[in-house]
């Protein structure tokens, strides 16, 4: 199968590697505005060639949109306009806006809204990883709005990648990812800014930072061009999560101010309950 990947970065590049290794993709075409990224993607074997979008669509059976979500929202209607009977799916971290963008499009059924739940703090073609998606979850949203054959193709693709498929409505998806993904990034960005503001000795940060600190702020290395659009599109859900998060932080602050160490212990022990879910 000839597959086009629009946006050859971390997710798009990793998908391309996996689909070639699994034998589903016999030829991968890249669509990439950044000339350096396009050259690197070809050099790394992520794609065999890079073409303009319209040419790539005409040569492909399947199109994967792996751009930042604001670009994906703009590209999807243009791609659907050019389709004959190909299938297109996206891999963005928010779903409501992109679904709304094509809700009344005559070829809406050729689109499957998905979100593979994997990523790192790195970006660009060089960030692509082998075996990235195995044993991870992927979400397919609003499946009844997709044509049956389009849905089956995407389901088979994710099954081939050994991913666990979860079905959700797009609005429910955006609420849940605000709690389990988007707040983690905001917290990491804020913590990194706090440390950079208060700790002026870069050597001290480097020398004293333990594994715990490093793992907590790892996400702060993530690309702003990707995450600002996500925060914009999922603004209401993220604000709801932030309000709760700030409330929890105030409880810890109050414990220390009032030297209420019994309640502090209770807060920590309550947080330990996450072990039941994340073992």
Q: What is the mean pLDDT of residues 75-103?
A: 97
Look up the CATH architecture of domain 2-168: 3-Layer(aba) Sandwich (3.40)
For the four alpha carbons of 124, 1, 114 and 97, in that order, the dihedral sign comes to: positive
The CATH code that applies to domain 173-276 is: 1.10.3660.10
**pLDDT at residue number 9:** 95
Closest CA to 71 of 47, 48, 91, 55: 91
Instruction: State the span(s) of the chain assigned CATH 1.10.3660.10.
Output: 173-276
**pLDDT at residue number 213:** 76
Model confidence band, residue 173 (pLDDT cutoffs 50, 70, 90): very high
Q: What is the mean pLDDT of residues 136-161?
A: 98
pTM over 0.85: yes
Model confidence band, residue 163 (pLDDT cutoffs 50, 70, 90): very high
Instruction: State the span(s) of the chain assigned CATH 3.40.50.720.
Output: 2-168
Main-chain phi, psi angles of 278, to 5 degrees? -110, 95
Residues 6+ positions from 261 with CB-CB distance below 8 Å: 255
Q: What is the mean pLDDT of residues 206-234?
A: 85
Q: Is 131 left (phi over 0), alpha (psi -120 to 50) or beta?
A: left
**pLDDT at residue number 214:** 77
For the stretch 152-156, contacts whose Cβ atoms lie closer than 8 Å and that sit 24 or more positions apart, written own/partner, are: 153/62, 153/87, 154/87, 154/89, 154/112, 154/114
Q: What is the mean pLDDT of residues 99-124?
A: 96
CA dihedral of residues 49, 53, 54, 57 (deg, nearest 10): 70
**pLDDT at residue number 210:** 65
Express as a percent the part of the chain with pLDDT over 70: 98
**pLDDT at residue number 211:** 65
Q: What is the mean pLDDT of residues 249-254?
A: 97
Q: What is the mean pLDDT of residues 44-55?
A: 97
Main-chain phi, psi angles of 149, to 5 degrees? -70, -35
Strand partners, 141: 113, 168
Closest CA to 154 of 88, 101, 224: 88
**pLDDT at residue number 69:** 95
Q: What is the mean pLDDT of residues 33-61?
A: 97
At residue 203's C-alpha, the angle toward residues 198 and 205, to 5°, is: 50
**pLDDT at residue number 108:** 98
């Amino acid at each position: 199968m000839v597959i086009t990947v629009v946006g050859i970065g971390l997710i798009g590049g990793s998908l391309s590697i996996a689909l070639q290794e699994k034998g589903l993709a016999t030829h991968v075409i890249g669509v990439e505005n950044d000339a350096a990224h396009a050259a690197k993607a070809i050099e790394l074997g992520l794609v065999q060639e890079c073409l303009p979008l319209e040419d790539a669509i005409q040569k492909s059976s399947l199109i994967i949109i792996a751009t930042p979500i604001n670009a994906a929202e703009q590209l999807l209607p243009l791609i659907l306009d050019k389709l004959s009977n190909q299938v297109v799916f996206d891999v963005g971290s928010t779903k409501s806006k992109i679904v709304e963008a094509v809700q009344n499009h005559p070829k809406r059924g050729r689109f499957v809204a998905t979100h593979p739940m994997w990523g790192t703090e790195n970006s660009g073609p060089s960030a692509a990883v082998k075996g990235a998606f195995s044993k991870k979850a992927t979400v397919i949203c609003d499946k009844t709005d997709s044509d049956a054959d389009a849905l089956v193709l995407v389901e088979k693709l994710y099954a081939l990648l050994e991913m666990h498929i979860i079905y959700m409505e797009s609005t429910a998806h955006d609420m849940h990812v605000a709690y389990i993904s988007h707040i983690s990034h905001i917290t990491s960005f804020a913590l990194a800014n706090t440390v950079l503001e208060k700790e002026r000795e870069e050597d001290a940060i480097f020398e004293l930072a333990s594994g715990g600190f490093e793992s907590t702020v790892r996400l702060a290395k993530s690309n702003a061009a990707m995450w600002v659009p996500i925060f914009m599109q999922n603004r209401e859900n993220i604000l709801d999560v932030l309000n709760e998060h700030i409330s929890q932080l105030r409880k810890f602050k109050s414990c220390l101010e009032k030297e209420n160490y019994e309640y502090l212990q209770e807060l920590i022990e309550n947080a330990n309950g996450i072990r039941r879910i994340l073992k």
